[in-house]
Amino acid sequence: MNRVKKGLFLMTLVVLGNGVFAQTIDEGRKQLYYEKYISARNVFQKLVGANPADADAVYWLGQTLIAPDEDKDVAGAKALYQTSLALNSNSALLIAGMGHLELLEGRTQDARNRFETAISLSNGKSIPVLNAVGFANADFDSKLGDAGYAIEKLKQAVALKGMKDPDVYVNLGDAYRKMADGGNAQLSYEAALALKPDYARAKYRIGRIYQTQGVTQEDIYMKYYNEAIAMDPNYTPVYWTLHQYFYETNVGRSAEFLEKYLAAKGSDEPNACFLRAQMKYAQGLFQDAITRSDECIASGGANPYPNLYGIKAYAYNKIGDSGNAKLAFDQYFMKQKPAKIGPSDYKTYAEVLLKFPGNESLAGTFIDKAVELDSTEAGKVALLKSVASSYEKQKSFIEAANWYKKVFNVKKNVSKTDYYNAGYNYFRTGQFQQSADVFSLYTQKYPDDIFGYYMIGKSYWGIDTTMSLSMANPSFEKAIQVGEAYPDKSKISAQLIGCYKYMIAYFANVKKDKPGALAYCDKALLIDPNDQEVLGNKDAISRMNMNAPPPKPATNVPQKPKQNAPKPGKPKKK
């Protein structure tokens, strides 16, 4: 639900034409510096409307289209540049801009060809062109941008006579930072400040070095942020970064910086109403968040900001109103662009849907989508376990087992608990073969652990309830072999005695081997001399005549595992 804004770092422009156009372009660039994208776009649109052949204005207009995360329009910028290139086929700046777009599209070789063409057309002596190439590759939105190439070209720009633009150094610092070279990044930002001491962007970026490198001392990066604010209280990125940073840890400070951000951004922030509603949610004021969202939706006209429905959905879910949560999520998913729906949205909507019978399939689809979008193993596992747990709470154990089993395909190191969660949920509903298959995987990874063999034995006993096929015998025998080798049998007493009890029943009722049955009774009693079930069975078996017609089984001898029996002891962690 949170938005992350990244700054567009401005490039020096050799302004052509009369003084009126120069002033207007500078005005647009100033709005971009403050990340006032709407205002900047309006300035450049007027310029281009007045003179479609003004390649410089077209370039900057294209940059406003790809600057904000919320409304990034690569296709629109591309169409704009292509149209203008038809009129200005040799515009080095526009060609560099096209290379930037191709990087965003993942076309790295085409982009490199564009950059080299632009540099060649300008004889390698245009600071704006070199800076455009450097920015395109240093830009953190350009995931495939080549930071080394950016450094090379920006250094070339720095070496040109008359280079006095601090933004070139800022882009150079970004390129170093993209390469995780914080030292040279800071030197570059400081070089920008040497050219323009009140250049808040450079001071802010120094703070970002320390914050993003995991520096734990808040006062270090806050020093640079506070200095940036002192240089220019209207520089919005500082406030936005601090609002985002404190959003999860200190909502009071987050709210404070949000208000400062909105004050500096003014009417250029179209989603101010949403941001304040979101802040109410973060503060735990869920009913206020719902009320504020409804007000924002009502004032939003025909197309309210889609995230407002998301805020309502989360808030209703928090106060336990599943019906309204579902309605709000239905609206959110209908109105929001699929590319902007995140893993948490899919996961939470799925959890709400599972509260309404008949939505299981759709909920499962959303969880699969959430897992696909999550970039971390821990996140994927948490999502799968979340839906599995939801099924468990509803006593839908087969579905729970199926979802727990999906963890095996995501987690690099599947744990005993992971195998247990899937295997036991199969077992408890009588899916004995699936249970045995899962616990077979358990034994392959943990061959010296009794629990896997024990559960395979119980699963096969569930299939061969009369023991006539001896299906469970090999697993119980292996469990006994492994268990008897344990130095401390107190940790596995439940499983080991369980194995002995099966063998007591098998030897007494199927094999008719009285000494064998009594031997297993003695083994069990060595572990727990007070086990009344074993004591009773030993007494009954002692009085049996194994040569007589088959006697009625001892009443206390277990015949088969009960599906509703208490959970077997969970595997012990070593």
The tens digit of pLDDT for each residue in 417-470 reads: 999 999 999 999 999 999 999 999 999 999 999 999 999 999 999 999 999 999
For residue 451, what are the contacts with CB-CB under 8 A and spacing of at least 6? 416, 420, 442, 492, 495, 568, 569, 570, 571, 572
Q: What is the arithmetic mean of pLDDT over 264-285?
A: 95
Q: What is the arithmetic mean of pLDDT over 201-226?
A: 86
Task: Return the CATH fold of 1-196.
Answer: 1.25.40
In the numeric block, the tokens 């690569």 are attached to 74
- pLDDT band per the 50, 70, 90 thresholds, residue 71: confident
Residue 296 token pair: 């924002």
Q: What is the pLDDT of residues 110-121, one digit of tens each?
A: 999 999 999 999
- pLDDT band per the 50, 70, 90 thresholds, residue 15: very low
Q: Where are the domains of the chain?
A: 1-196, 342-413, 426-574
Percent of the chain residues past pLDDT 90, beyond the cut:
76
Contacts 24+ apart (CB under 8 A), 466-475: 466/510, 466/559, 466/560, 467/505, 467/506, 467/509, 467/510, 468/510, 470/506, 470/510, 472/502, 473/506
The rounded mean pLDDT for the chain is 89
Sign of CA dihedral 426, 429, 434, 438: positive
Of residues 89, 36, 34, 100, the one with CA closest to residue 62: 100
Concatenating the DSSP letter of every residue in 211-259 gives HHTT---HHHHHHHHHHHHHH-TT-HHHHHHHHHHHTTT-HHHHHHHHH
Residue 326 token pair: 């579902």
For residue 345, what are the contacts with CB-CB under 8 A and spacing of at least 6? 1, 310, 332, 333, 370
Cα separation, 167 vs 201, in Å, equals: 9
Q: What is the pLDDT of residues 521-560, one digit of tens each?
A: 999 999 999 999 999 999 999 998 875 445 555 445 444 4
Task: Return the CATH fold of 426-574.
Answer: 1.25.40
Q: What is the pLDDT of residues 19-34, one digit of tens each?
A: 444 458 889 999 999 9
Number of other residues whose CB lies within 10 A of the CB of residue 87: 13
Burial (CB < 10 A; 0-12, 13-18, 19+), residue 88, is buried
For the ranges 264-268, 344-348, 442-446, 570-574, the maximum mean pLDDT occurs at: 442-446
